[in-house]
């Protein structure tokens, strides 16, 4: 029997258009017209896929499903090429109306680090390695 391979990260979203806009700001590519679909996917580096499903889609095949009352059960992290990109992305996303959970800071583990919430309240970490000696 073949060993299963982790392949997809799935998020159930309240507002697909808002989620697509958020993740597109982070550089993910979704098909044109994805806003009208009940399920969309973006290929991630390394062969993984990020899948977004609307709440209505999930309810259509799982009638007992109810959305959680708050986000925070999953966190995604985006590696940035340099520390200044962490700051710029954070400002861009917060400026677009998304909740800034943790302003950019130089973490003791050697990264520039920040956290923004996506439209459903999930944490999205932004990070970049700090130059040696900082």
> In which order are the strands placed within the sheet that holds 39-43?
8-13, 49-54, 39-43
Ranges for all domains in the chain classified under CATH 3.10.180.10: 1-67, 71-134
pLDDT digits (tens, 9 = 90+) for 35-52: 999 899 999 989 999 999
What is the Cα–Cα distance from 82 to 131, expressed in whole angstroms?
Answer: 9
pLDDT digits (tens, 9 = 90+) for 110-133: 999 999 999 988 889 999 999 986
Q: What is the DSSP string of 50-75?
A: EEEEEHHHHHHH-TT----SS--S-E
Q: What number does CATH give the domain 1-67? A: 3.10.180.10
Q: What number does CATH give the domain 71-134? A: 3.10.180.10
pLDDT digits (tens, 9 = 90+) for 61-102: 777 778 777 666 688 999 999 999 999 999 999 999 999 999
Q: CA-based diameter of the chain, in Å? A: 55
Q: What pTM, to 2 d.p., does this model score?
A: 0.85
């Amino acid at each position: 029997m073949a060993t299963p391979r982790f392949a997809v990260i799935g998020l159930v979203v309240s507002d697909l258009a808002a989620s697509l806009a958020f993740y597109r700001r982070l550089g993910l590519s979704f098909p044109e017209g994805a806003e009208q679909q009940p399920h969309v996917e973006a290929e991630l580096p390394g062969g993984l896929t990020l899948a977004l499903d609307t709440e209505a889609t999930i309810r259509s095949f799982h009638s007992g499903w109810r959305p959680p009352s708050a986000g925070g059960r999953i966190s995604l992290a985006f590696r940035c090429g340099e520390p200044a990109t962490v700051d710029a992305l954070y400002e861009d996303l917060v400026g677009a109306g998304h909740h800034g959970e943790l302003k950019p800071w130089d973490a003791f583990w050697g990264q520039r680090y920040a956290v923004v919430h996506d439209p459903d309240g999930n944490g999205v970490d932004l990070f970049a390695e700090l130059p040696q000696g900082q």
